[in-house]
Structure 1
Amino acid sequence: MARRWVVISLLLLLAVGYVVGSSGMWDRVSNDFMKKDKPYGPGDFRIRGKNVISMKLAKPELMFKPRSAEEIEANVSLEVSEAWMANPSERANRRTVRILAGELDSLLSLRFEETAQQADWWLSPNWDTIYLATGWTDRTQESLPGQRYLPQLTQLFKSTDQGQEWEKLRWPEDQNITFLRFIDPQRGYLIGWGPRVWRTRDGGDHWDELPVPEGSRDPENPRQQFDLVALGQDHVLRMAFYDHAADVSRIYALSWGEDIPQQAFTIPGHVVMDIAANTESNVYVLATQGAPYFSLPSEERDAPRPSVVWRWNDDSLDKLHEFLPELKGYALYLTPSGGLLFDGVNESTLLGNDVVAVSYDGGGSWKIQNEGRSAQGGYYDVQTGTRWRVRGYSLYQREIP
């Protein structure tokens, strides 16, 4: 009798779990999303209707020699089938970036693969054009005396038919590309270590290097980067970096067609995490209180660092909202209806829960929503207001208009 009640209880729990997962906050779309692509991982995916495309960085798949029944019983450790699989540097050298595409209910096909340990991409709104930048370093190399970094091999690729065919664009292999920011298939920017910024007006046939803000570079670190680079709906490229001497984040703006970025505003005592700007150039900034984490003394790194949302309207900087310290924000979006969407994690929980906060009154009031344990992948579609989430092999969606 007791066993019967245990079985009934388990069935009830499963039923409740199914209801919550499918008809609560999230609607389950698929139970085996990208399950067959090994090693597993959803990558940086995009969905339109039933169509899927993903840019996925993947580690090499490891294979192991079979064990006899005696070895299994004796708990003999698994042995990799090839020697390189036991070497971390060799494994790193075999990492790749893949472009996969297909339909939700079918196996995605591999449309492109290149050896890479770093990658970024841009996908046009109609999905026809893809730009892909890759970076690869030979991890088996030994550093030379006085050499701070091993050299990185950088490549730039382009497809104009949804990834069916690819062209390798001319690009200096020793010039890193970390981010791609495009207005349309013809006009865009590349941002790399230094930091450095390049612009194209002709779909990547030619690139012009532009000056970067004074003070953004570190003479002792050739791989210095901006804290944040964002391209707004107003087609303005904004660059943020922390000025340690002044204890402020400086935000520079570069309108399309201009060659020299101009300082727009500063935020005292905060590090910029994200910037969102609408077509009227109302600028919203997500920042974390304090100096950059790794620049702090070790005894100060555990101090509370609240996330704050600010607004800049070409005249004044307004502090809209400061979240509780345990809510760490990573991204800020403008929703299709003009709302603000804060995307972050609740770090007060043991495993970390994903949270969002939404404001529809310009940042005056916020509704915080717990989205469950941290996902393996996902994104928010600013065009449709659809939020996607992958956990396990399951794909979920919800609407945040």
Structure 2
Amino acid sequence: MRDSSASPSSMEDRMANDDKTTDDLSTEELVEGAVRALSLGIERGGLECDVLGAATPMVEPAREPLLPIDCLSASHLHGLVNSKNLTLLFIDDSSAEPWTVTENLPWNIAATFSSVWRDELGGLKERHFSDATISPEMKPSLVIRGGHFGTYQEIITWMLLSCRGYGIAPWPDPIVGRFTNAYLTRLCAHHIRCDYLVEAASNRMEQISNRQIHSEDCRALWMMTPADEEMKQFLVEHVATRLWKKRLRARAAYWTLRNELPDLDQAIRTALGVKTAAHQEWKEAGENDAKGRLNFNGSRRQYARDAHQVYEAQQQQHSETKASEEPKDNTIMLQAEVIRKAARGRPAYAKLDLACIGMTNAQFLSSE
């Protein structure tokens, strides 16, 4: 029989005893124990509640290694569509109200393309629920903070296009704002840890910057909020270097941009001043040293003549060094004494003294 003097705090210990059963407990203690067990499970993340409110153990699916997207076949990507849909919400840093990016993002696509979403969803394998036991209010959702709302919509569209059975879809390349689009793509892909898209966007940014960034891209990135100081410094160096080397195209557009943004103009002037000082220091230090283009003072023709002389001197020195390394043969000019002249078909005979070449008769015979 149950001891009525026992305190409620020892209820869990009595439930763990194999000799005791739930029939020995009162209704109040059963309810209290269920509430405590449910609270403990929710705190530890080990319980999952359905619509009826019953607590059932949640089995964590086995984690599968996250393969690079470009290693997955087209058929594998196409099979990711057959999973439960998620709702993707976006919260800007300046506003706490969430915006809906999409309401139909398949579970497996989210877990495959994003490492962050994979960790939040608990693995690649979807926990299967019956539609009859889940209310519409319990639809799973993901929340992303920071980045650009429109770019996230483009990323979701790209993910869905890549899972249509034709392989990974190419990232769209707009005609206007190419560098800005690549920058925002890399920023948002970095937020969700989509490594494939981060690398693709970085390569496109490098390809564009190797030629020249459009003035409208410079304006958009310079006025972006919140400001990216690293990107601002990159833009200043990009424009200043091309001004210094006289390779900046569409100078009128950049002059207009500098007039509209005084802080950008001041940063470019500072960068040009640094380059001018470094050039002057290099030029003064190399006046007596013939090692570089800046060390030759004068016209281009004078520089070409001096450079050709330096090249010929180097080639001559190389030839002399190579000749000194090769083995040399000692040549001795000898004149033999004719003792019988050639006549009537008879050969001529000459006498050679071995002493003139430093050899005795015995040495000559032994060599034979």
TM over 0.5: no
TM norm structure 1: 0.19
- More strand as a share of residues: 1
- More helix as a share of residues: 2
TM norm structure 2: 0.20
